[in-house]
Amino acid sequence: MNPLNTVRGAITTGFVLAVVLTLLIAPTAFHELGLARWFHILSGITWIGLLYYFNLVQMPALAAAAADKGGPGGAGISKYVAPRALLWFRWAAVATWLTGAWYLARSGNLAGAFELGLRSDPFNYYQLIIGVGAWLGTIMLFNVWVLIWPNQKKVLGLVAATDEEKAAARKTAMLASRTNFVLSIPMLLCMGSATHGLPF
């Protein structure tokens, strides 16, 4: 059976290929910190990729479908796509935060990052930059689990809600998602700049 025929098979194949390439290129270079960074990047791409999908594709498409009175509507997206995308989205958020904390802890920077390097002597510029990114990511994680997901459950009909409650939930989920979209831009700047320098 072709592993590319299933999501699980494709993910497994990708991991196996990555491990094989690591062993071929640098068989003695494997270490826990690198593993934490790799998992953080993979989960982060999944999380932020879905965030961008929701904001750049799904929300505008559903709005266009609702405005198209003679069209097929957005029921297919709401029934089949959104619940699966939200499953990956919310757990990728958790995985991203946990692997980021794992990486910072193993590198000795967890407390310093959340203190923005202000208690370090001398001042730690890396902890300031990565800490701003970590705080933005923490706010985004909060938004996913406290604002977006509970309200999306109402919108998608996964929990009982009146039409008025669904309308309010839709607005709250949209604003929280847009807030995360906005916060992701400086968050990604901080994550990349912490070790590679600010781009300005």
Q: Looking at residue 200, what is its pLDDT? A: 43
Q: Looking at residue 199, what is its pLDDT? A: 58
Q: Per-residue b/e over 131-144, b at no fewer than 16 CB within 10 Å?
A: bbbbbbbeebbebb
Residue with the bigger pLDDT between 32 and 169: it is 169
Q: Residue 122: is the preceding peptide bond cis (ω within 30°)?
A: yes
User: What's the rounded mean pLDDT across residues 101-129?
Assistant: 95
Tell me: the pLDDT tens digits for 25-65? Answer: 987 777 888 889 999 999 999 999 999 999 999 999 999 99
- Residue 25 Cα distances to 30, 31, 34, 42, angstroms: 11, 14, 14, 20
Of the pLDDT bands very low, low, confident and very high (cuts 50, 70, 90), residue 196 is confident
Q: Mean pLDDT for the chain?
A: 93
Q: Spell out the domain ranges in the chain.
A: 1-30, 31-196
Single-letter amino acid, residue 195: T
